[in-house]
C-alpha cells in the first residue's frame, strides 16, 4: 500500500463518536447533519423510480434532466448557468475528490484555508501534493481571514487554492470584496480555485430571504475562469445519506470530468438522481424552512454557551455549527472523549480540523428539537462546574 495512504489520519470525529456507540444516553452533536429525515416528496420520488425499474447505469455526467434542473437553480441564485458546465457526483465529498484528481499532480503545491473539514486537506495529500495552510485567526470567538497573508502565500507556483466558505467548522464566510481580491490574484498567478460552497444556503447574514445565500465565486467569475465549485444536496435539502452532489466547472473541462467519473463511480444512482430532481425543483418547500429553523437553533444555542464561564465563541454567519473554545482545556480530543464518558455529550474535537483549532470544540446545532440543545448546554455546564469544584462528574 502507498505510504501516503498509510500516513492518512483517521477521523478524530469518528473516534469520538465510536466512544459513544451503544450508549442511548448520549446527546450526539458530533456529525454535520440534521436529525430531521428527508422530506416525504423527495423520498417518494426515489421510490417511484425504483418501482419503475430504473436500476441501470446512467450518463457519467448525470441525467440530463437533473443537470438542467441544477443549472436552473444556479441561475436563480447566481445568474446564467449552462448545464454543460455541470457534473452530477455521488456526494459532495466525491465532487471534491474528483476536482482534486482532475487538477493536482504529485508534487504540486496546494494552499488550503484552515481550519477546515479534514477531507479537504487530505485529498491533495492523497494525490501526492505539497500542502500549505493559511490559518484563519480567532478574534473574540469569531474566525477571520488575513487576506494579505493568503495572497502572499498563493504564488505562480501554487497549482490549487482550496477555500470552504461558509466554513466548516468555524462558520467563517467570505465577503464579496475578499472573493474578488482572491479571484483577481489567482487570475494573475494562474492558480485554480476549488470552492467548497456546500453551505452557501445556510446563511444568516444580510439579504435574508427565500433565495438568500452566502457570496459565491460564481457571482463574479467568468465561465472560463480557473474555478471549480463543489456543491451537495446533503445540508440544504436534508439528504446527507443519499450521497448526491455536483460540480460547476469551465465548459472545456466537463467532458474530461465525465471520463474521470467513469473511472471512479461510473455514474450516480438513477433513483437518487430522481430524488435530487424533486428536491431542487421544489427547493422553496424545503430550504427556506430549514434555514429559518437553523437560525433559531443558532440563536438558541450560542447565547447559552456564551453565558458559561470559560467559553469563547461568536455567532457565525453561515453553516450549522457553534465552534467554541474552552479555556484551560488544551487537548480537544481528550476533552471530547471525556464529555462523552462523563457528561453524555457528543461534540467534535477542534483539532480534527486543523492543529491551530486545538482547544476548540464543534457543536452541530441542526436539531429538530431545540430542547436537546438546552439539555446539552446543561450537561456541559454541569461538567464544567464539576471540573472547577473537583466534585465527581
For residue 392, the model assigns a pLDDT of 42
Model pLDDT for residues 302-333, shown as the tens digit of each residue: 999 999 999 999 999 999 999 999 988 889 99
CA distances from 359 to 41, 83, 116, 276, 364 (A): 42, 44, 15, 38, 17
Strand order in the sheet with 158-164: 86-89, 245-248, 227-232, 192-196, 158-164, 109-114, 130-135
Instruction: Calculate the average pLDDT of the chain.
Output: 95
For residue 240, the model assigns a pLDDT of 96
Q: Is 284 exposed, middle or buried (0-12, 13-18, 19+ CB in 10 A)?
A: exposed
Instruction: Answer whether residue 207 shows pLDDT above 80.
Output: no
Q: What is the percentage of the chain residues whose pLDDT exceeds 70? A: 97
For residue 369, the model assigns a pLDDT of 96
Model pLDDT for residues 234-250, shown as the tens digit of each residue: 999 999 999 999 999 99
- The rounded Cα 87 to chain-centroid distance in angstroms is 19
For residue 210, the model assigns a pLDDT of 64
- Give the residues across from 139 on adjacent strands: 142
CATH topology of domain 3-38+286-384: 3.90.1150
Domain boundaries, the chain: 3-38+286-384, 40-282
Instruction: Answer whether residue 393 shows pLDDT above 50.
Output: no
CA distance 291 to 319: 10
Instruction: Answer whether residue 14 shows pLDDT above 60.
Output: yes
Which CATH number is 40-282's, of 3.30.70.3270, 3.40.640.10, 3.40.50.1970, 3.30.479.30?
3.40.640.10
Instruction: Answer whether residue 22 shows pLDDT above 90.
Output: no
Contacts of 376 (CB under 8 A, 6+ apart): 27, 29, 345, 363
Alpha-carbon torsion, ordered 264, 75, 286, 374, to 10 deg: 80
Q: For residue 375, what is its C-alpha cell?
A: 439539555
For residue 389, the model assigns a pLDDT of 53
Q: For residue 67, what is its C-alpha cell?
A: 443537470
Model pLDDT for residues 268-305, shown as the tens digit of each residue: 999 999 999 999 999 999 999 999 999 999 999 999 99
For residue 299, the model assigns a pLDDT of 97
Model pLDDT for residues 74-115, shown as the tens digit of each residue: 999 999 999 999 999 999 999 999 999 999 999 999 999 999
Instruction: Answer whether residue 391 shows pLDDT above 50.
Output: no
CA distance 346 to 16: 7
Amino acid at each position: 500500500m502507498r505510504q501516503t495512504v498509510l500516513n492518512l489520519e483517521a477521523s478524530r470525529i469518528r473516534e469520538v463518536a465510536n466512544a459513544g456507540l451503544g450508549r442511548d444516553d448520549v446527546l450526539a452533536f458530533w456529525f454535520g447533519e440534521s436529525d430531521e429525515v428527508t422530506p416525504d416528496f423527495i423520498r417518494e420520488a426515489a421510490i417511484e423510480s425504483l418501482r419503475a425499474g430504473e436500476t441501470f447505469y446512467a450518463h457519467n455526467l448525470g441525467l440530463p434532466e437533473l443537470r438542467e434542473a441544477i443549472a436552473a437553480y444556479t441561475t436563480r441564485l447566481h445568474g446564467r448557468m449552462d448545464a454543460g458546465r455541470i457534473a452530477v457526483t455521488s456526494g459532495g465529498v466525491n465532487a471534491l475528490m474528483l476536482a482534486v484528481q482532475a487538477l493536482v499532480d504529485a508534487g504540486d503545491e496546494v494552499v488550503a484555508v484552515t481550519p477546515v473539514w479534514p477531507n479537504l486537506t487530505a485529498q491533495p495529500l492523497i494525490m501526492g501534493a505539497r500542502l500549505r495552510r493559511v490559518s484563519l485567526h480567532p478574534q473574540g470567538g469569531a474566525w477571520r481571514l488575513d487576506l494579505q497573508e493568503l495572497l502572499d502565500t498563493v504564488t505562480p507556483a501554487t497549482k490549487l487554492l482550496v477555500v470552504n466558505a461558509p466554513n466548516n467548522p468555524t462558520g467563517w464566510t467570505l465577503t464579496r470584496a475578499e472573493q474578488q481580491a482572491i479571484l483577481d490574484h489567482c487570475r494573475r498567478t494562474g492558480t485554480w480555485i476549488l470552492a467548497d460552497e456546500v453551505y452557501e444556503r445556510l446563511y444568516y447574514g444580510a439579504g435574508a430571504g427565500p433565495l438568500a445565500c452566502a457570496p459565491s465565486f460564481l457571482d463574479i467569475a467568468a465561465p472560463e475562469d480557473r474555478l471549480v465549485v463543489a456543491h451537495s444536496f446533503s445540508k440544504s435539502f436534508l439528504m446527507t445519506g443519499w450521497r448526491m452532489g455536483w460540480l460547476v466547472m469551465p465548459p472545456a473541462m466537463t467532458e474530461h470530468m465525465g471520463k474521470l467519473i467513469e473511472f471512479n463511480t461510473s455514474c450516480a444512482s438513477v433513483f437518487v438522481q430522481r430524488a435530487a430532481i424533486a428536491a431542487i425543483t421544489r427547493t422553496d418547500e424545503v430550504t427556506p424552512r430549514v434555514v429559518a429553523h437553523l437560525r433559531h437553533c443558532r440563536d438558541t444555542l450560542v447565547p447559552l454557551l456564551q453565558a458559561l464561564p470559560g467559553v469563547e465563541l461568536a455567532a457565525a454567519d453561515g453553516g450549522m455549527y457553534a465552534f467554541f473554545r474552552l479555556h484551560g482545556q488544551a487537548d480537544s480530543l481528550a476533552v471530547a472523549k471525556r464529555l462523552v464518558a462523563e457528561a453524555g455529550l457528543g461534540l467534535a474535537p477542534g483539532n480534527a480540523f486543523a492543529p491551530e483549532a486545538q482547544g476548540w470544540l464543534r457543536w452541530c446545532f441542526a436539531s429538530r428539537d431545540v430542547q436537546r440543545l438546552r439539555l446539552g448546554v446543561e450537561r456541559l455546564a454541569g461538567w464544567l462546574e464539576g471540573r472547577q469544584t473537583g466534585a465527581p462528574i
